[in-house]
Chain A
Amino acid sequence: MNYLTVDFGSTFTKLTAVDSVQQRILATANAFTTVESDVMDGFNVALEQLEHKIGKFNYEKLLCCSSAAGGLKMVAVGLVPELTAKAAKMAASSAGAKVIKTYSFELSKKEQDEIYDINPDLVLLCGGTDGGNKEVIIQNAKSLCSIERKFSIIVAGNKTAAYPIEQIIGISGKHCVVTENVMPAFNKLNIIPAKNTIRDMYIKEIINAKGLSGIQNITHNQIIPTPLAVMTACELLSQGTKKLAGIGEFVAVDLGGATTDVYSMSNGKPSIDNVVVKGLPEPFSKRTVEGDLGMRYSLKSLIGEIDTEEFCDKNAIELQDFERWIELCIANPESVAQQSSSNQIIEDSLAAKAIDIAMERHCGEIESTYTPMGEIFSITGKDLTRIPCFIGIGGALTNSNSPKKILSGGLYSKGKYKFLKPQNPKFMLDKKYIFASMGLLSKEEPNLALTLLKDSLLEL
Protein backbone atom coordinates (compact mmCIF):
# COMPACT_ATOMS: atom_id res chain seq x y z
CA MET A 1 0.00 0.00 0.00
CA ASN A 2 1.14 3.56 -0.67
CA TYR A 3 1.05 6.02 2.19
CA LEU A 4 1.55 9.75 2.08
CA THR A 5 2.28 11.43 5.41
CA VAL A 6 2.07 15.18 5.81
CA ASP A 7 3.46 17.32 8.60
CA PHE A 8 2.08 20.84 8.43
CA GLY A 9 4.82 22.69 10.30
CA SER A 10 4.87 26.31 11.36
CA THR A 11 7.21 27.07 8.44
CA PHE A 12 7.35 24.02 6.19
CA THR A 13 4.85 21.43 5.02
CA LYS A 14 6.76 18.16 4.87
CA LEU A 15 5.64 15.19 2.78
CA THR A 16 6.91 11.62 3.01
CA ALA A 17 5.90 8.93 0.52
CA VAL A 18 6.07 5.35 1.80
CA ASP A 19 5.57 2.10 -0.08
CA SER A 20 4.69 -0.65 2.36
CA VAL A 21 5.20 -3.44 -0.16
CA GLN A 22 8.77 -2.41 -0.95
CA GLN A 23 9.15 -1.48 2.73
CA ARG A 24 10.83 1.82 1.99
CA ILE A 25 10.54 5.57 1.86
CA LEU A 26 10.16 6.55 -1.78
CA ALA A 27 10.83 10.27 -1.37
CA THR A 28 10.37 13.30 0.82
CA ALA A 29 9.59 16.87 -0.18
CA ASN A 30 8.72 20.13 1.47
CA ALA A 31 7.25 23.54 0.72
CA PHE A 32 6.26 26.62 2.67
CA THR A 33 3.17 26.22 4.82
CA THR A 34 0.33 28.39 3.54
CA VAL A 35 -2.01 28.70 6.48
CA GLU A 36 -3.07 32.29 5.68
CA SER A 37 -4.57 31.43 2.29
CA ASP A 38 -5.27 27.70 2.17
CA VAL A 39 -3.00 24.98 3.57
CA MET A 40 -3.75 22.96 0.45
CA ASP A 41 -1.70 25.43 -1.64
CA GLY A 42 1.52 24.55 0.19
CA PHE A 43 0.55 20.91 0.19
CA ASN A 44 0.08 20.90 -3.59
CA VAL A 45 3.42 22.60 -4.18
CA ALA A 46 5.16 19.98 -2.04
CA LEU A 47 3.28 17.17 -3.79
CA GLU A 48 4.38 18.48 -7.19
CA GLN A 49 7.96 18.43 -5.95
CA LEU A 50 7.55 14.93 -4.69
CA GLU A 51 6.05 13.71 -7.96
CA HIS A 52 8.81 15.45 -9.84
CA LYS A 53 11.20 13.07 -8.06
CA ILE A 54 9.29 9.79 -8.32
CA GLY A 55 6.60 10.36 -10.91
CA LYS A 56 2.86 10.25 -10.33
CA PHE A 57 2.23 9.02 -6.79
CA ASN A 58 -1.12 7.37 -6.16
CA TYR A 59 -1.46 7.11 -2.43
CA GLU A 60 -4.17 5.06 -0.77
CA LYS A 61 -3.88 6.61 2.63
CA LEU A 62 -3.10 10.19 3.60
CA LEU A 63 -1.94 10.69 7.21
CA CYS A 64 -1.52 14.17 8.70
CA CYS A 65 -0.22 15.98 11.72
CA SER A 66 0.11 19.69 12.27
CA SER A 67 1.89 22.33 14.27
CA ALA A 68 0.81 25.08 11.88
CA ALA A 69 -0.69 28.35 13.11
CA GLY A 70 1.22 28.24 16.39
CA GLY A 71 0.56 24.57 17.17
CA LEU A 72 -1.65 23.68 20.10
CA LYS A 73 -1.25 26.60 22.48
CA MET A 74 -2.13 25.77 26.08
CA VAL A 75 -2.05 27.14 29.58
CA ALA A 76 -1.89 24.79 32.58
CA VAL A 77 -3.33 25.67 35.98
CA GLY A 78 -2.74 23.76 39.21
CA LEU A 79 -2.59 24.32 42.94
CA VAL A 80 0.91 23.74 44.40
CA PRO A 81 3.76 24.44 41.93
CA GLU A 82 5.65 21.21 42.59
CA LEU A 83 2.51 19.03 42.68
CA THR A 84 -0.67 19.49 40.62
CA ALA A 85 0.70 22.44 38.63
CA LYS A 86 3.68 20.33 37.58
CA ALA A 87 1.43 17.34 36.82
CA ALA A 88 -0.82 19.59 34.70
CA LYS A 89 2.14 20.85 32.71
CA MET A 90 3.39 17.29 32.21
CA ALA A 91 -0.03 16.13 30.96
CA ALA A 92 -0.36 18.98 28.47
CA SER A 93 3.21 18.58 27.19
CA SER A 94 2.77 14.86 26.68
CA ALA A 95 -0.34 15.56 24.58
CA GLY A 96 1.82 17.56 22.20
CA ALA A 97 0.77 21.00 23.37
CA LYS A 98 2.97 24.03 23.58
CA VAL A 99 2.46 24.99 27.21
CA ILE A 100 2.99 28.74 27.20
CA LYS A 101 2.70 29.15 30.94
CA THR A 102 1.83 27.19 34.08
CA TYR A 103 0.03 28.84 36.98
CA SER A 104 -0.41 27.81 40.58
CA PHE A 105 -2.59 28.86 43.52
CA GLU A 106 -5.49 31.29 42.95
CA LEU A 107 -5.13 33.20 39.69
CA SER A 108 -4.50 36.87 40.29
CA LYS A 109 -6.06 39.60 38.16
CA LYS A 110 -2.67 40.16 36.57
CA GLU A 111 -2.41 36.47 35.67
CA GLN A 112 -5.91 36.53 34.19
CA ASP A 113 -4.85 39.44 31.99
CA GLU A 114 -1.77 37.49 31.00
CA ILE A 115 -3.91 34.51 29.94
CA TYR A 116 -6.04 36.94 27.93
CA ASP A 117 -2.87 38.07 26.12
CA ILE A 118 -1.65 34.50 25.59
CA ASN A 119 -5.04 33.65 24.05
CA PRO A 120 -4.63 29.88 24.45
CA ASP A 121 -6.48 27.25 22.41
CA LEU A 122 -7.14 25.18 25.53
CA VAL A 123 -6.71 25.54 29.28
CA LEU A 124 -6.02 22.53 31.49
CA LEU A 125 -7.47 23.23 34.93
CA CYS A 126 -6.19 21.07 37.78
CA GLY A 127 -5.79 21.36 41.54
CA GLY A 128 -6.33 19.28 44.65
CA THR A 129 -6.02 15.55 45.12
CA ASP A 130 -9.36 13.69 45.12
CA GLY A 131 -11.03 14.80 48.32
CA GLY A 132 -8.32 17.40 48.86
CA ASN A 133 -8.46 21.14 48.37
CA LYS A 134 -11.36 22.28 46.20
CA GLU A 135 -11.71 25.98 47.00
CA VAL A 136 -8.78 27.01 44.80
CA ILE A 137 -9.80 25.06 41.67
CA ILE A 138 -13.39 26.34 41.95
CA GLN A 139 -12.17 29.90 42.33
CA ASN A 140 -9.84 29.43 39.36
CA ALA A 141 -12.73 28.10 37.25
CA LYS A 142 -14.59 31.34 38.00
CA SER A 143 -11.52 33.42 37.15
CA LEU A 144 -11.01 31.59 33.84
CA CYS A 145 -14.66 32.19 32.92
CA SER A 146 -14.20 35.91 33.35
CA ILE A 147 -11.46 35.97 30.71
CA GLU A 148 -13.05 37.06 27.45
CA ARG A 149 -11.35 34.64 25.13
CA LYS A 150 -12.82 31.66 23.32
CA PHE A 151 -10.70 28.85 24.82
CA SER A 152 -12.24 25.61 26.07
CA ILE A 153 -11.39 24.26 29.51
CA ILE A 154 -10.39 20.72 30.40
CA VAL A 155 -10.98 20.01 34.08
CA ALA A 156 -8.70 17.35 35.57
CA GLY A 157 -8.59 18.14 39.27
CA ASN A 158 -10.20 17.16 42.56
CA LYS A 159 -13.20 14.96 41.60
CA THR A 160 -15.26 16.47 44.41
CA ALA A 161 -15.03 19.86 42.70
CA ALA A 162 -15.87 18.63 39.19
CA TYR A 163 -19.63 19.10 39.35
CA PRO A 164 -19.67 22.66 40.74
CA ILE A 165 -17.01 23.60 38.19
CA GLU A 166 -19.07 22.18 35.32
CA GLN A 167 -21.99 24.31 36.50
CA ILE A 168 -19.87 27.46 36.74
CA ILE A 169 -18.28 27.04 33.33
CA GLY A 170 -21.57 25.96 31.77
CA ILE A 171 -23.22 29.26 32.71
CA SER A 172 -20.32 31.28 31.28
CA GLY A 173 -20.83 29.82 27.80
CA LYS A 174 -17.34 28.39 27.58
CA HIS A 175 -17.01 24.75 26.63
CA CYS A 176 -15.75 22.41 29.33
CA VAL A 177 -14.85 18.73 29.51
CA VAL A 178 -14.27 16.94 32.80
CA THR A 179 -11.80 14.08 33.01
CA GLU A 180 -9.91 12.17 35.71
CA ASN A 181 -7.68 13.98 38.17
CA VAL A 182 -4.03 14.29 37.06
CA MET A 183 -3.07 13.58 40.68
CA PRO A 184 -5.82 11.55 42.41
CA ALA A 185 -3.65 10.97 45.49
CA PHE A 186 -0.44 12.57 46.66
CA ASN A 187 2.40 11.85 44.20
CA LYS A 188 0.24 9.47 42.17
CA LEU A 189 0.43 10.67 38.61
CA ASN A 190 -2.50 9.97 36.29
CA ILE A 191 -1.92 12.02 33.15
CA ILE A 192 -3.16 9.65 30.44
CA PRO A 193 -6.90 10.57 30.71
CA ALA A 194 -6.06 14.29 30.50
CA LYS A 195 -3.68 13.62 27.61
CA ASN A 196 -6.40 11.74 25.69
CA THR A 197 -8.99 14.42 26.37
CA ILE A 198 -6.62 17.10 25.04
CA ARG A 199 -6.10 15.06 21.86
CA ASP A 200 -9.88 14.64 21.41
CA MET A 201 -10.51 18.35 21.95
CA TYR A 202 -7.77 19.16 19.44
CA ILE A 203 -9.46 16.98 16.85
CA LYS A 204 -12.96 18.27 17.61
CA GLU A 205 -12.35 21.97 18.08
CA ILE A 206 -8.88 23.19 17.27
CA ILE A 207 -8.38 21.69 13.79
CA ASN A 208 -11.27 23.76 12.53
CA ALA A 209 -10.06 26.94 14.18
CA LYS A 210 -6.60 26.47 12.67
CA GLY A 211 -8.01 26.31 9.14
CA LEU A 212 -7.28 22.61 8.76
CA SER A 213 -10.81 21.30 8.39
CA GLY A 214 -10.44 21.14 4.59
CA ILE A 215 -7.51 18.80 4.86
CA GLN A 216 -9.20 16.80 7.61
CA ASN A 217 -11.95 15.88 5.16
CA ILE A 218 -9.55 14.10 2.82
CA THR A 219 -7.21 12.50 5.36
CA HIS A 220 -7.48 8.95 6.53
CA ASN A 221 -6.49 9.59 10.15
CA GLN A 222 -7.61 12.25 12.58
CA ILE A 223 -5.09 15.08 12.47
CA ILE A 224 -2.96 15.17 15.62
CA PRO A 225 -0.43 17.73 16.89
CA THR A 226 3.03 17.04 15.40
CA PRO A 227 4.78 16.66 18.77
CA LEU A 228 2.31 13.90 19.63
CA ALA A 229 3.29 12.11 16.42
CA VAL A 230 6.96 12.53 17.35
CA MET A 231 6.25 11.23 20.85
CA THR A 232 4.49 8.18 19.37
CA ALA A 233 7.52 7.53 17.15
CA CYS A 234 9.85 7.82 20.16
CA GLU A 235 7.76 5.34 22.14
CA LEU A 236 7.75 2.93 19.21
CA LEU A 237 11.50 3.23 18.66
CA SER A 238 12.19 2.67 22.34
CA GLN A 239 9.80 -0.13 23.14
CA GLY A 240 9.37 -1.83 19.78
CA THR A 241 6.38 -3.85 18.64
CA LYS A 242 5.23 -7.37 19.47
CA LYS A 243 7.37 -8.66 16.59
CA LEU A 244 10.38 -6.34 16.59
CA ALA A 245 12.52 -5.13 19.49
CA GLY A 246 13.03 -1.43 20.10
CA ILE A 247 16.35 0.23 20.87
CA GLY A 248 15.61 0.70 24.58
CA GLU A 249 16.17 3.86 26.56
CA PHE A 250 17.15 7.12 24.88
CA VAL A 251 16.80 10.88 24.92
CA ALA A 252 15.80 12.85 21.82
CA VAL A 253 16.01 16.58 21.26
CA ASP A 254 14.11 18.52 18.62
CA LEU A 255 15.59 21.96 18.17
CA GLY A 256 13.39 24.29 16.18
CA GLY A 257 12.93 27.93 15.35
CA ALA A 258 10.31 28.56 17.99
CA THR A 259 10.75 25.79 20.58
CA THR A 260 13.15 23.17 21.84
CA ASP A 261 11.49 19.85 22.68
CA VAL A 262 13.09 17.12 24.75
CA TYR A 263 11.77 13.56 24.81
CA SER A 264 13.13 11.02 27.27
CA MET A 265 12.21 7.37 26.98
CA SER A 266 13.55 6.11 30.28
CA ASN A 267 12.38 5.11 33.71
CA GLY A 268 15.10 7.43 35.04
CA LYS A 269 15.91 5.27 38.06
CA PRO A 270 18.83 6.51 40.19
CA SER A 271 22.18 5.27 38.89
CA ILE A 272 23.81 5.34 42.32
CA ASP A 273 22.93 3.48 45.51
CA ASN A 274 21.80 4.97 48.75
CA VAL A 275 19.70 7.82 47.44
CA VAL A 276 16.36 9.14 48.56
CA VAL A 277 14.01 9.74 45.63
CA LYS A 278 11.98 12.92 46.00
CA GLY A 279 9.20 14.70 44.13
CA LEU A 280 6.65 13.59 41.58
CA PRO A 281 7.14 10.22 39.90
CA GLU A 282 7.76 10.79 36.19
CA PRO A 283 6.35 8.84 33.24
CA PHE A 284 8.60 6.55 31.16
CA SER A 285 7.96 8.65 28.08
CA LYS A 286 8.27 12.27 29.04
CA ARG A 287 8.20 15.34 26.84
CA THR A 288 9.08 18.87 27.83
CA VAL A 289 8.74 21.81 25.49
CA GLU A 290 10.61 25.06 25.98
CA GLY A 291 8.72 27.86 24.26
CA ASP A 292 11.42 30.36 25.15
CA LEU A 293 14.30 28.46 23.56
CA GLY A 294 14.45 28.53 19.79
CA MET A 295 16.81 29.53 17.01
CA ARG A 296 14.58 32.15 15.35
CA TYR A 297 11.17 33.13 16.72
CA SER A 298 12.35 32.57 20.32
CA LEU A 299 15.88 33.83 19.78
CA LYS A 300 15.31 36.92 21.89
CA SER A 301 14.29 34.91 24.97
CA LEU A 302 17.11 32.42 24.36
CA ILE A 303 19.61 35.30 24.45
CA GLY A 304 17.92 36.45 27.64
CA GLU A 305 18.97 33.17 29.27
CA ILE A 306 22.63 33.65 28.34
CA ASP A 307 25.43 35.72 29.81
CA THR A 308 26.47 37.09 26.39
CA GLU A 309 30.00 38.16 27.27
CA GLU A 310 30.86 34.87 28.90
CA PHE A 311 29.22 33.01 26.02
CA CYS A 312 31.22 34.87 23.36
CA ASP A 313 34.44 34.46 25.34
CA LYS A 314 33.95 30.76 25.76
CA ASN A 315 33.14 30.14 22.11
CA ALA A 316 35.75 32.56 20.72
CA ILE A 317 33.14 34.80 19.12
CA GLU A 318 33.53 38.56 18.66
CA LEU A 319 30.81 40.30 20.64
CA GLN A 320 30.14 42.68 17.71
CA ASP A 321 29.69 39.82 15.25
CA PHE A 322 27.40 38.14 17.71
CA GLU A 323 25.19 41.17 18.19
CA ARG A 324 25.03 41.87 14.46
CA TRP A 325 23.99 38.30 13.63
CA ILE A 326 21.34 38.15 16.37
CA GLU A 327 19.84 41.43 15.21
CA LEU A 328 19.69 40.13 11.66
CA CYS A 329 18.05 36.84 12.69
CA ILE A 330 15.42 38.53 14.82
CA ALA A 331 14.54 40.91 11.96
CA ASN A 332 14.69 38.18 9.29
CA PRO A 333 13.87 34.75 10.69
CA GLU A 334 14.63 33.15 7.32
CA SER A 335 18.35 34.10 7.57
CA VAL A 336 20.71 31.19 7.04
CA ALA A 337 24.35 31.28 8.12
CA GLN A 338 26.92 30.53 5.44
CA GLN A 339 28.90 27.35 5.85
CA SER A 340 32.09 27.74 7.92
CA SER A 341 31.45 31.45 8.44
CA SER A 342 31.73 33.11 11.84
CA ASN A 343 27.95 33.24 11.85
CA GLN A 344 27.88 29.48 11.55
CA ILE A 345 29.96 29.23 14.73
CA ILE A 346 27.50 31.54 16.49
CA GLU A 347 24.59 29.41 15.27
CA ASP A 348 26.16 26.15 16.43
CA SER A 349 27.15 27.57 19.81
CA LEU A 350 23.68 29.01 20.36
CA ALA A 351 22.07 25.73 19.37
CA ALA A 352 24.29 23.86 21.83
CA LYS A 353 23.34 26.34 24.54
CA ALA A 354 19.61 25.96 23.82
CA ILE A 355 19.95 22.19 24.15
CA ASP A 356 22.01 22.63 27.32
CA ILE A 357 19.27 24.70 28.98
CA ALA A 358 16.42 22.52 27.67
CA MET A 359 18.14 19.40 29.04
CA GLU A 360 18.72 21.05 32.41
CA ARG A 361 15.00 21.73 32.65
CA HIS A 362 14.07 18.24 31.50
CA CYS A 363 16.34 16.01 33.58
CA GLY A 364 16.41 15.35 37.30
CA GLU A 365 18.59 17.00 39.91
CA ILE A 366 20.72 15.53 42.64
CA GLU A 367 21.36 17.16 45.98
CA SER A 368 23.71 16.14 48.73
CA THR A 369 22.87 16.52 52.41
CA TYR A 370 25.17 15.88 55.36
CA THR A 371 23.42 13.95 58.08
CA PRO A 372 24.57 12.33 61.32
CA MET A 373 24.67 9.13 59.23
CA GLY A 374 27.04 10.62 56.67
CA GLU A 375 26.42 12.15 53.24
CA ILE A 376 23.04 11.30 51.79
CA PHE A 377 21.92 12.10 48.24
CA SER A 378 18.42 12.90 47.17
CA ILE A 379 17.22 12.89 43.57
CA THR A 380 14.24 14.75 42.13
CA GLY A 381 13.17 13.78 38.60
CA LYS A 382 14.84 11.47 36.10
CA ASP A 383 18.44 10.35 36.41
CA LEU A 384 19.56 10.30 32.76
CA THR A 385 23.30 9.97 33.37
CA ARG A 386 23.45 6.38 32.08
CA ILE A 387 21.32 6.94 29.00
CA PRO A 388 22.97 4.99 26.18
CA CYS A 389 21.69 7.00 23.25
CA PHE A 390 21.11 10.69 22.47
CA ILE A 391 19.15 11.44 19.28
CA GLY A 392 18.94 14.72 17.42
CA ILE A 393 15.76 15.38 15.44
CA GLY A 394 14.41 18.46 13.68
CA GLY A 395 15.58 20.77 10.94
CA ALA A 396 18.13 22.84 12.84
CA LEU A 397 20.12 19.69 13.65
CA THR A 398 19.67 17.74 10.42
CA ASN A 399 20.73 20.75 8.35
CA SER A 400 23.76 21.52 10.47
CA ASN A 401 27.34 20.56 9.62
CA SER A 402 28.25 19.79 13.18
CA PRO A 403 25.26 18.08 14.80
CA LYS A 404 27.50 16.23 17.25
CA LYS A 405 28.96 19.45 18.60
CA ILE A 406 25.47 20.90 19.02
CA LEU A 407 24.10 17.80 20.74
CA SER A 408 27.09 17.75 23.09
CA GLY A 409 25.60 20.87 24.64
CA GLY A 410 23.13 18.56 26.36
CA LEU A 411 25.77 16.47 28.10
CA TYR A 412 26.55 16.20 31.81
CA SER A 413 29.00 18.79 33.02
CA LYS A 414 31.16 18.46 36.10
CA GLY A 415 30.77 22.14 36.88
CA LYS A 416 27.02 21.67 37.09
CA TYR A 417 27.01 18.19 38.59
CA LYS A 418 23.54 18.55 40.08
CA PHE A 419 21.87 18.17 36.66
CA LEU A 420 21.60 14.46 35.84
CA LYS A 421 22.22 14.75 32.10
CA PRO A 422 23.58 11.97 29.90
CA GLN A 423 27.27 11.33 30.55
CA ASN A 424 28.49 9.14 27.77
CA PRO A 425 25.80 8.38 25.19
CA LYS A 426 26.33 7.60 21.54
CA PHE A 427 24.95 10.33 19.30
CA MET A 428 22.44 9.61 16.56
CA LEU A 429 20.76 11.82 14.01
CA ASP A 430 17.35 11.53 12.37
CA LYS A 431 18.91 12.32 9.03
CA LYS A 432 15.76 12.07 6.93
CA TYR A 433 13.68 14.01 9.43
CA ILE A 434 10.99 11.35 9.56
CA PHE A 435 10.05 10.98 13.25
CA ALA A 436 6.67 12.73 12.91
CA SER A 437 5.92 10.84 9.71
CA MET A 438 6.75 7.47 11.29
CA GLY A 439 4.68 8.34 14.34
CA LEU A 440 1.72 8.72 11.98
CA LEU A 441 2.55 5.55 10.08
CA SER A 442 2.94 3.54 13.30
CA LYS A 443 -0.82 3.57 13.81
CA GLU A 444 -1.22 1.73 10.48
CA GLU A 445 1.97 -0.32 10.13
CA PRO A 446 3.98 -0.33 13.36
CA ASN A 447 6.57 -2.88 12.20
CA LEU A 448 7.32 -1.00 9.02
CA ALA A 449 7.48 2.34 10.86
CA LEU A 450 9.95 0.90 13.36
CA THR A 451 12.17 -0.57 10.64
CA LEU A 452 12.23 2.70 8.71
CA LEU A 453 12.95 4.68 11.88
CA LYS A 454 15.90 2.47 12.76
CA ASP A 455 17.21 2.73 9.19
CA SER A 456 17.03 6.49 9.20
CA LEU A 457 19.17 6.87 12.31
CA LEU A 458 22.73 7.86 11.54
CA GLU A 459 25.35 7.34 14.20
CA LEU A 460 27.57 10.38 14.59
Chain B
Amino acid sequence: MEKGNNSKTVVTGVIGADVHAVGNKILAYALEGAGYNVVNLGVMVSQEEFIEVAVETNADAILVSSLYGHGEIDCLGLREKCEEAGLKDIPLLVGGNLVVGKQNFSEVEKRFSAMGFTKSYPPGTSLETTIKDLKELVG
Protein backbone atom coordinates (compact mmCIF):
# COMPACT_ATOMS: atom_id res chain seq x y z
CA MET B 1 0.00 0.00 0.00
CA GLU B 2 1.41 3.35 -0.93
CA LYS B 3 1.08 6.20 1.44
CA GLY B 4 -0.87 9.20 0.18
CA ASN B 5 0.40 12.67 0.88
CA ASN B 6 -2.13 13.64 3.49
CA SER B 7 -3.12 10.42 5.19
CA LYS B 8 -1.72 9.34 8.53
CA THR B 9 -0.01 6.03 9.19
CA VAL B 10 -0.98 3.79 12.08
CA VAL B 11 0.58 0.50 13.14
CA THR B 12 -1.71 -2.23 14.47
CA GLY B 13 -1.22 -5.73 15.79
CA VAL B 14 -2.00 -8.24 18.54
CA ILE B 15 0.74 -8.16 21.14
CA GLY B 16 2.56 -11.01 22.88
CA ALA B 17 1.80 -14.70 22.41
CA ASP B 18 -1.78 -13.93 21.47
CA VAL B 19 -3.08 -15.47 18.24
CA HIS B 20 -6.60 -13.99 18.07
CA ALA B 21 -6.74 -12.96 14.45
CA VAL B 22 -10.31 -11.93 13.69
CA GLY B 23 -10.71 -8.68 15.65
CA ASN B 24 -7.35 -7.53 14.35
CA LYS B 25 -8.51 -7.87 10.75
CA ILE B 26 -11.81 -6.06 11.44
CA LEU B 27 -9.97 -3.22 13.16
CA ALA B 28 -7.49 -2.86 10.29
CA TYR B 29 -10.35 -2.86 7.79
CA ALA B 30 -12.26 -0.18 9.69
CA LEU B 31 -9.17 2.00 10.03
CA GLU B 32 -8.47 1.76 6.32
CA GLY B 33 -12.08 2.71 5.69
CA ALA B 34 -11.54 5.77 7.84
CA GLY B 35 -8.70 6.85 5.54
CA TYR B 36 -5.63 5.72 7.46
CA ASN B 37 -2.59 3.96 6.04
CA VAL B 38 -2.71 0.84 8.13
CA VAL B 39 0.40 -1.23 8.69
CA ASN B 40 -1.13 -4.35 10.18
CA LEU B 41 1.39 -6.67 11.80
CA GLY B 42 -1.16 -9.43 12.54
CA VAL B 43 -0.85 -11.69 15.55
CA MET B 44 1.97 -12.52 17.97
CA VAL B 45 3.66 -9.17 17.62
CA SER B 46 6.49 -8.28 19.97
CA GLN B 47 7.04 -4.80 21.41
CA GLU B 48 10.23 -4.53 19.36
CA GLU B 49 8.34 -5.27 16.16
CA PHE B 50 5.78 -2.53 16.83
CA ILE B 51 8.60 -0.08 17.39
CA GLU B 52 10.80 -1.10 14.45
CA VAL B 53 7.90 -0.78 12.05
CA ALA B 54 6.78 2.55 13.51
CA VAL B 55 10.32 3.89 13.01
CA GLU B 56 10.62 2.65 9.43
CA THR B 57 7.15 3.85 8.36
CA ASN B 58 7.26 7.08 10.36
CA ALA B 59 3.97 6.09 11.99
CA ASP B 60 1.67 8.61 13.67
CA ALA B 61 0.21 6.19 16.23
CA ILE B 62 0.47 2.61 17.48
CA LEU B 63 -2.70 0.61 18.19
CA VAL B 64 -2.13 -2.45 20.34
CA SER B 65 -4.68 -5.25 20.73
CA SER B 66 -4.66 -7.94 23.37
CA LEU B 67 -7.41 -10.52 23.75
CA TYR B 68 -6.06 -13.25 25.99
CA GLY B 69 -5.80 -11.52 29.34
CA HIS B 70 -2.02 -11.07 29.49
CA GLY B 71 -2.13 -7.57 28.03
CA GLU B 72 -0.76 -5.82 31.05
CA ILE B 73 2.43 -7.87 31.19
CA ASP B 74 2.87 -7.72 27.41
CA CYS B 75 2.48 -3.95 27.28
CA LEU B 76 4.75 -3.11 30.18
CA GLY B 77 7.75 -1.10 29.03
CA LEU B 78 6.47 -0.31 25.52
CA ARG B 79 6.40 3.44 26.18
CA GLU B 80 9.95 3.43 27.53
CA LYS B 81 11.18 1.49 24.52
CA CYS B 82 9.42 3.96 22.19
CA GLU B 83 11.22 6.82 23.90
CA GLU B 84 14.49 4.96 23.53
CA ALA B 85 13.89 4.42 19.79
CA GLY B 86 13.20 8.12 19.21
CA LEU B 87 9.41 7.77 18.88
CA LYS B 88 8.87 10.67 21.21
CA ASP B 89 5.25 11.23 22.33
CA ILE B 90 3.80 8.83 19.76
CA PRO B 91 0.17 8.07 20.77
CA LEU B 92 -0.19 4.51 22.10
CA LEU B 93 -3.72 3.08 22.09
CA VAL B 94 -4.60 -0.28 23.56
CA GLY B 95 -7.79 -2.34 23.66
CA GLY B 96 -9.34 -5.80 23.88
CA ASN B 97 -9.60 -8.08 26.90
CA LEU B 98 -6.68 -6.46 28.63
CA VAL B 99 -6.90 -8.19 31.99
CA VAL B 100 -8.26 -11.41 33.46
CA GLY B 101 -11.44 -11.50 35.55
CA LYS B 102 -14.01 -8.87 36.35
CA GLN B 103 -12.05 -5.77 37.23
CA ASN B 104 -13.30 -2.24 37.37
CA PHE B 105 -12.13 -0.75 34.05
CA SER B 106 -11.33 2.67 35.51
CA GLU B 107 -8.66 0.91 37.60
CA VAL B 108 -7.33 -0.88 34.56
CA GLU B 109 -7.30 2.39 32.65
CA LYS B 110 -5.29 4.05 35.41
CA ARG B 111 -2.71 1.31 35.33
CA PHE B 112 -2.33 1.53 31.53
CA SER B 113 -2.16 5.31 31.73
CA ALA B 114 0.64 4.98 34.28
CA MET B 115 2.40 2.69 31.81
CA GLY B 116 2.34 5.54 29.28
CA PHE B 117 -0.65 4.55 27.15
CA THR B 118 -2.55 7.48 25.69
CA LYS B 119 -5.87 5.62 25.56
CA SER B 120 -7.07 2.24 26.75
CA TYR B 121 -10.38 0.59 25.94
CA PRO B 122 -12.57 -1.99 27.72
CA PRO B 123 -14.04 -5.04 25.95
CA GLY B 124 -16.93 -4.18 23.66
CA THR B 125 -15.69 -0.74 22.66
CA SER B 126 -17.10 0.26 19.28
CA LEU B 127 -14.75 0.89 16.37
CA GLU B 128 -16.25 4.36 15.99
CA THR B 129 -15.07 5.34 19.48
CA THR B 130 -11.48 4.40 18.72
CA ILE B 131 -11.50 6.09 15.31
CA LYS B 132 -13.00 9.26 16.80
CA ASP B 133 -10.25 9.38 19.43
CA LEU B 134 -7.61 8.69 16.81
CA LYS B 135 -8.89 11.59 14.68
CA GLU B 136 -8.52 13.89 17.69
CA LEU B 137 -5.04 12.61 18.47
CA VAL B 138 -3.40 12.50 15.04
CA GLY B 139 -5.92 13.94 12.61
Contacts and interface: CB of A to CB of B under 8 A. Distances in A.
Interface of A: 79-80, 82-84, 127-134, 183-186, 276, 278, 369-373, 376, 378
B31 interface: no
Given A184-B2, A276-B43, A371-B68, A128 B19 contact: no
A147 B82 CA distance: 31
B3 A131 contact: yes
Interface in B1-44: 1-5, 9, 17-19, 37, 39, 41-44
Q: What does DSSP make chain B's interface, helix, strand, loop or mixed?
A: loop
B2 to A, nearest CB: 6
A373 B49 CA distance: 22
A84 B57 CA distance: 10
A92 to B, nearest CB: 19
Size band of the interface chain B makes with A: 20 to 34
24 contacts: A80-B55, A80-B56, A127-B56, A129-B57, A130-B3, A131-B3, A131-B9, A131-B57, A131-B58, A132-B9, A132-B58, A133-B58, A184-B2, A185-B1, A185-B2, A186-B41, A186-B53, A186-B57, A276-B19, A369-B44, A371-B17, A371-B18, A372-B69, A376-B17
Contacts of A131: 2-5, 9, 37, 57-58
B83 interface: no
Contacts of B5: 131
B128 interface: no
Contacts of B19: 276, 371, 373, 376
Contacts of B89: none
A314 to B, nearest CB: 35
Given A131-B4, A186-B53, 4 more contacts: A186-B39, A186-B57, A371-B18, A372-B69
B55 A79 contact: yes
A455 B131 CA distance: 63
A271 to B, nearest CB: 19
Contacts of B49: 278
A129 B68 CA distance: 32
Given A185-B2, A369-B44, A376-B44, A133 B56 contact: yes
A183 B39 CA distance: 13
Given A371-B18, A372-B69, A130 B2 contact: yes
B80 interface: no
Nearest to B68: A372
Contacts of B4: 131
B133 interface: no
- B19, B43, B55, B57 — most chain A CB neighbours (10 Å): B57
Given A371-B68, A372-B68, A132 B57 contact: yes
Nearest to B16: A371
Contacts of A133: 55-58
A130 B5 CA distance: 10
Contacts of B52: 80, 82-83
Contacts of A376: 17, 19, 44
A4 B122 CA distance: 73
Contacts of A373: 19, 68
A134 B55 CA distance: 10
A448 B90 CA distance: 59
A84 B56 CA distance: 8
Contacts of B43: 276
Contacts of A134: 58
A278 B41 CA distance: 9
A140 to B, nearest CB: 14
A186 B68 CA distance: 26
A80 B52 CA distance: 6
A130 B3 CA distance: 7
Contact of A128 (B1, B37, B58, B68): B58
